[in-house]
Amino acid sequence: MLDMFRPFACMVTGFLLPAVLLFPAGEKQEFGYAGKWRGYKTKGNGIGIGAATLISPSWAISAKHLASIKARTPKAVKVKLFFGDGVERGVTKAYLCPGADIALLRLSAPVNKVEPAALCATRLTSKHKTFPFTFVSRGHGLKTVAGCRGKAAKKGIYHSKPAKGGRPGKAGDSGGGCVFQQKAPKRDVLFAVIHGGGKGPQVAVFRKWIDDVMKKSGEKAQWLPAPIGGKKK
């Protein structure tokens, strides 16, 4: 992979084999909001690999280190996102969050047949102890790992190693989501963006920036409280 594309694949130590889920046509698809990132150099053969999460019809959230080239030199790279049920969209513009490995991606056209994930309005702290969550990425095909354990660490989340095996991510999963799964009709709630090394920034900390960027388009993310208590261990 060329030097300018190395930031696109952030290594996370330890991983489980990807779990690719297939769903019959016409049925609601779990984790349809999980997106695959593919960044193509307009001059040359470099390809950046990563993940993203749909948070409204025209917006996705990902990692800043994936989107930095697209944001700063838009014509140097062409980005495509692939969501569930074969949905493909381009990225017209990337916005980089100050102080966090978070980026917002404006899509080339709205995605209307995939339900977006909600964003977590709760800023998780030590009072939430260690809590369960699901690791979601489509960087190498849909991979979901339930039963992960997380705890708050300053502005981010630290993903504790499970009892068996290491952390589930690997190079190319950056930009995916740490989510709280909920039964339909409630949406899954994304509380952190996968960065690497078992860590990721909390979206709740940067809510004002996210809302300010998105409001120019007339769309809003849905913000929901964390569906966990403060006494979980």
On the question of a cis peptide bond just before residue 162, with omega within 30 degrees of 0, the verdict is: no
What are residue 132's DSSP bridge partners? 149
Do 61 and 193 touch, CB atoms closer than 8 A? yes
Residue 80 sits at the vertex; the CA angle it makes with 78 and 84, to the nearest 5 degrees, is 175
Instruction: Specify the DSSP class assigned to residue 132.
Output: E
Residue-by-residue pLDDT tens, the chain, 233 positions: 333 333 333 333 222 323 333 333 323 468 999 999 999 988 877 788 999 999 999 999 999 999 999 999 999 999 999 999 899 999 999 999 999 999 999 999 999 999 999 999 999 999 999 999 999 999 999 999 998 989 998 888 887 655 455 667 788 899 999 999 999 899 999 999 999 878 899 999 999 999 999 998 999 999 999 998 644 43
Q: What is the dihedral of CA 62, 63, 64, 67, to 10 degrees?
A: -60
pLDDT for res 46: 76
- Rounded to whole angstroms, the Cα distance separating 160 from 197 reads 10
